Structure formats: C-alpha cells, structure tokens
A and B are shown apart, each in its own frame.
Chain A
Amino acid sequence: MDFIENIRLAVTGLLSNKMRALLTMLGIIIGIAAVITIVTLGDAITSTVSSTMEEMGGKNITVLLEEKNPEVVLPGMSQTLGVSMGFDIMGNMAESDLISDEMIGQLWDRYGDEIQALSMIEQVGNGKAQDGRAYSNLSVSGVNGDYEKSESLTLLEGRFINDRDIDRAVNVAVISDKTAKAIFGQADKALAQEIKVHMDTEIQTYTVVGIYEYEELVMPMTTQVAEEDVRTAFYIPLSTARKQTGAPDGCKSFTLMAKQNIQPSELADKVESFFDIYYRDNVNYRCSATSMDTIIEQMDDIMGTVSVAIAVIAGISLLVGGIGVMNIMLVSITERTREIGTRKALGATNGNIRIQFVVEAVIICLIGGIIGIILGILCGVFGSSILGYPAFPGVGIILIAVTFSMLIGVFFGYYPANKAARMDPIEALRYE
C-alpha cells in the first residue's frame, strides 16, 4: 500500500487530536531539545575556554620548577595556575635550586634558533599609584625585555623594558593606558614623567618609559569592578624587582615562545631534557616544560568527553519518551480495534496494518524530534550567547537527532503495530 497514503493517514490522525499528539510527543521533544542544547553549550564552553587560554599564550611554553614528588595529579597544571596568580607555592627553596641566569644563557646557546622569546616575570605585589586624589590600582611585576613579545603587549607610547634597564636595575616602568589616563589625564602625557607607587609601607618612584594598551580577558564571568578600580599591570625591570623584594638571583619559572615554524610541544620536550641534566642530582626539585597547546588539547578532550557523557544521560529521557509513545499507541490501537477489524475485512493484510501503525509512530516521533531540534537550537543559541560565545549546533548533530527520533518511532512503535496486525478480524469487529 501507498507509503504516502500511510503518512497522510498518520498526519490526519495527529491533527484530529492535537492535544493528545502533543502529550505523546512531549518526551521526545524534551529529550531531543536537551541533547541539542547540551551539545551546543558544550561547544560554546569549549571554545570559550580554548580561546581564553590561547589569549593567555597559545604558542607559549611554560617552564617551571616543581617538586619531584608532587601531590597533585597533573604536574605542571596547578603550578601553572599558581605561578600565574602570583602565589609562591614552594616555600623551602634554596638559592641553589633556582634556575640561574647561567642556565638560561646556555639554553639560548643551545636552542636559540628555535626560541622566539624568553620572558621572565616576578611578582612584587599589589600597589597603588597615587597623585593627589587620582589613583590607579596596580599589580607590580619585574619582567625582562622579551616579556613584551611573549605576552603580545601592544605598546602605545615609548618603549618596553630593555636589557640596559635590567643591567643597571633602574627604577623605570611601563604602565597601562588606564593608569596613564588616571594619573596624568591623558595617555601620551605620561611619558618621561615620574610616578609614585605605594606598596605596603613603602613608596617607590619610577620614570615612565612606556605605555601599553590594557586588554580585558575574554571571560565575562569575572566580577565586574568599577572602571577606576581595575587593577592593571605595572612593569619594572626584573633586577629592580629582585632588589625590592630581596629575592635571590635566579628564577622559579619563565616562559618560552617558540618560533613560528617550531612545534611548541617538541621544543618543550627538548627544554625539559636540557634542564634534567642540571636537576638530575637535585633531590627535591626538577624543571618541567609544558606547552600551552598540550594543555588546551587536554582541556578540549576533557570538555568533549564531559559533553558526550551529559548528552548520553539526556538521551535517557528519549528512552522514556519512546516508552510514552508506545503506551499511547497501545491505547490508540485498543480504541481503534473496530477500525482495524473493518480494514481487515476489506482486505488489509497483517503487513498493511503493521506498516500503518509503525508509520504512525515514526511520524509522531519525527515531528516531536523536529520540534525538539528547534527548541534545542533556540535554547542552545540563547544559552551560549549568554556565555559570550554564540554557538550553533552543527548539521551533523541535527541529522543524528532526526534519524534517532525516527529510529525510536520504529523501535517503540513495533510492538503496538504488531499487536494490531495480529488481531483476529472477527473478534475485532465484535469489539464494543
């Protein structure tokens, strides 16, 4: 019998009782909508995290000292976060454990052709630039010349810290345009001016040699602070910083930027082997070199796995939806026993009846699936926009959703359809 006739028949049946049709489909609608929404949000979150981390230095390799017997599961991971947040995790370090300037010199000699930049930063602490009533919150850090490159800072005026500044350990500084505006009224007015910074109980004076453009990080979920209170970085020469904090020569970590055509993860391995030689005999510490792209990859993998897992769980609701469809079909078939008997009396074969009801189930699930997809797209786009990274589900997932809905229809419609097909026409015709 005509497939199209069957489809028309199914649709007519649904239209004649819209409320029941809707309630039947509800499970499928919710299930599909949930899966699509989760996959879309998962994509958005992954992209947000990836792009944020890339902003923080995609091609960078982080080299740092860590304890040889770490308590954390991901060596390098928590340390990375710790160092970038300015904490001093390792308390019992001696000067001899630190990475010396000599070691770094030799690293340059060995791998200079693969290294674009080697930047070092040492946090001094939080401070406040003040001039009368004008102020600007600062995070004071000692850096070397290459820091500008590895962090992709945009210089607006003047220059960055250079080797001579470091050699002479002078009190010069590179400030943010925000700080410049706050203290001097206008960004370019700040050049060559003196700026006083209050830190704890001390006041230090610096000469401004450069102004960089302050960029907000992408993550919009950080608490909003007022314009004036935003804390920007204040860069001084590394040696100056060490003088102020009384820190010994030698650093606990630095960042390498690989040259364009170099694979960061490969260079990271080489660097780690290089330092292993120095730290072979060191009991407590070793050097680890981790490339950001490896971390990003790991993160992507994890997020991907989590998304899939949650989607599968949401898929369970599809199972429930399918059972709902089966239930309603059983009821519907019982109600239409007379009709089925009549059809058989008029010549319908068991196969005809079976197909009629399987098609009906498939149509219900297909329509439910389509509504669910539309709903899922709406929720997914809306939700991911809120996260700040609008994402749209790919064609692939939509096709899978459509196919899956239809399969649910076939699977859960089969039992009721079979029941109808096997009805004895004589009994069916007698049914009240």
Chain B
Amino acid sequence: MSETKQVIIQMKGIRKSFYIGQPHELEILHGIGLSVRKGEFVSIVGASGSGKSTLMNIIGALDRPTSGEYILDGVDISKAGDGELSGIRNRKIGFVFQTFNLIPRTSALKNVELPMLYSGTSKTLRTARAKELLEIVEMGERMSHQPSELSGGQKQRVAIARAMANDPAIILADEPTGALDSETGRLVMDLFHKLHREQGKTIVLITHNQELALETERILTLRDGNFISDEKGGQV
C-alpha cells in the first residue's frame, strides 16, 4: 500500500562535455539517469573528480546538460535559456552551500527574504514568511543578527531557512557540514532529518562523506561520470 509519490527529478541520458581548447572535448558525465520522488532524502556520493559537482550544477539549474533530458517538477529544463534558468533556480531549487554564502552586512532576516525579493513577493509577506522559517530552524531569536555575529552552525541554519523561502521543489545541499565541526555538523544533519520527516521536504545531499550518506534514505554513488550503485541507507 505504498503511495506512488510524484517524481520530482527525472533525468535521462544526461551527458556533459566541456570544450577545453583541444580538438577533443572532455566528457564528464556519460549518459546519466536519475529519478527522485517527492519527499525523498537522497544523497549523491562521489570522490573528487567523479563528476558530482558537474552533476550538481545541472540538477541545480546552474548549468545545462550537453545532451539528455531533465524534467524538474514536470517541466523539461534541459534546453532552457539563461533567464529561464534564473527563474527556475529562484522558485524550484533551494541551495545550501558548504561555505554558507550568506550576504554579509545583512541581517539573517533579510538573508532569508532574499529569494522572495527576486520572486517579487510583497514586503509584508516576505518578512512574515522569513520569520516563520527562522523559527523552524530555531534561529528566531537571532533574526536581526548579521552573519559576522553568528557561528558556523547558526549560519548554516539561516542558509537552510533561506533555501526554503520560495517553497522549492528540492533542497540541494552541497557538503553542508563540510565547514563545521562534528558536533555542529550533527545538529545540522538533525535539522535536515527534521525537515524531511516533519515537513516532507525533498532533499538531495551531495557529499564525499560515506558515513553522512548512509544517514539518508537512498545513496547514489557516482564514479567517473556514471552511477555505479543505488542503495538504501537509513542508518542514523
């Protein structure tokens, strides 16, 4: 009696090549296929040079595949123009970076509001929602603090709230605990789990850390531009 959850990411035959000034192009991804359902918490694991950054950029609509199909939340964006991709990133993708990337000299509240600014949400709605999200990540008391006044873990939590601002189709986290000590990293991972369980968020975690990957529902291992395994995880 399993509900057939909607497929959020459907990738087929994704290839990515870079022209590096030589007669031959360098192909990084060799016809990858990927499908992620709504509400899944998956991780993509790979070592340096496996192509996971390239794949992440395509999933996150920062880049286009050289060939192949990428259907995100029902729309094929593999051939979308730059302007379109901006809009998709704004509404469908919630990025969480290893280096947090909060805007300096700006309050946590304003940081969380940022995606909503670019989507044209009104000021009152923006502020209300930003406050709500900061409460969820337990940063409600520090909403007027600037990034320079926050610890690494706190910054990451603000970044996660920001990622959820426009209620995106997926949260795309790139080594979210990479710059944090194990204790703080633990707290952040707990937050991801909480969001997954309680809010039903779809989370794609990119990491080279096997242990971390094992915590997620599903582990996809990437090597030399191809998926070599798709296993169940779930070991918290």
Contact = CB atoms under 8 A, between A and B. Distances in A.
Interface string B88-118: 0111000101010101111000000011011
B103 A339 contact: yes
Contacts of A94: none
A224 interface: no
B90 A347 contact: yes
Residues of A contacting B: mostly: helix
Interface of B: 57, 60, 62-63, 82-83, 86-87, 89-91, 95, 97, 99, 101, 103-106, 114-115, 117-120, 123, 162, 166
7 contacts: A2-B123, A342-B103, A346-B90, A346-B118, A347-B91, A347-B115, A349-B83
B95 A12 contact: no
B117 A2 contact: yes
B101 A13 contact: no
B80 to A, nearest CB: 13
Given A1-B117, A1-B118, A352-B118, A346 B62 contact: no
Interface of A: 1-2, 5, 12-13, 16, 338-339, 341-350, 352, 425-426, 429
Nearest to A348: B118
A25 B125 CA distance: 37
Contacts of B89: 344-347
Nearest to A349: B86
Contacts of B90: 346-348
A343 B114 contact: yes
Contacts of B119: 347
A429 B63 CA distance: 13
B70 to A, nearest CB: 16
Contact of B82 (A1, A5, A350): A350
Given A12-B106, A339-B104, A345 B95 contact: yes
A346 to B, nearest CB: 5
A349 B162 CA distance: 18
B120 A346 contact: no
Contacts of B101: 338-339, 341-342, 345, 429
Nearest to B146: A16
Contacts of A5: 117
Contact of A345 (B60, B82, B117, B123): B60
Contacts of A425: 62
Contacts of A349: 83, 86-87, 118
A342 B86 CA distance: 12
A2 B113 CA distance: 13
Nearest to B84: A349
A13 to B, nearest CB: 7
B118 A347 contact: yes
A158 B148 CA distance: 89
The interface centre, meaning the residue of A13, A338, A341, A347 with most chain B CB atoms within 10 A of its CB, is A347
B191 to A, nearest CB: 20
Given A12-B106, A426-B57, A426-B63, A346 B115 contact: yes
A341 B63 CA distance: 13
Given A343-B118, A344-B86, A346-B115, 18 more contacts: A1-B118, A1-B120, A2-B123, A338-B99, A339-B103, A344-B89, A345-B62, A346-B89, A346-B90, A346-B95, A346-B162, A347-B86, A347-B91, A347-B119, A348-B86, A348-B118, A425-B62, A429-B97
A2 B166 CA distance: 17
Contacts of A1: 117-118, 120
B60 A346 contact: no
B13 to A, nearest CB: 22
A221 to B, nearest CB: 54
B105 A16 contact: yes
10 A-B pairs with least C-beta separation: A347-B90, A342-B101, A347-B118, A349-B86, A346-B115, A16-B105, A347-B89, A345-B95, A348-B118, A426-B62
A16 B115 CA distance: 23
A305 to B, nearest CB: 49
A338 B147 CA distance: 15
B87 A347 contact: yes
A21 B118 CA distance: 27
B114 A346 contact: yes
A429 B57 CA distance: 11
A6 B186 CA distance: 37
Contacts of B62: 345, 425-426
A335 to B, nearest CB: 10
Contacts of B91: 347
Contacts of B123: 2
A339 to B, nearest CB: 6
A347 B123 CA distance: 18
Contacts of B60: 345
The interface centre, meaning the residue of A1, A342, A343, A348 with most chain B CB atoms within 10 A of its CB, is A342
Nearest to B104: A339
Contacts of B166: 347
Contacts of B57: 426
Contacts of B103: 339, 342-343
A426 B99 CA distance: 14
A344 B89 CA distance: 8
Contacts of A2: 117, 123
Contacts of A16: 105
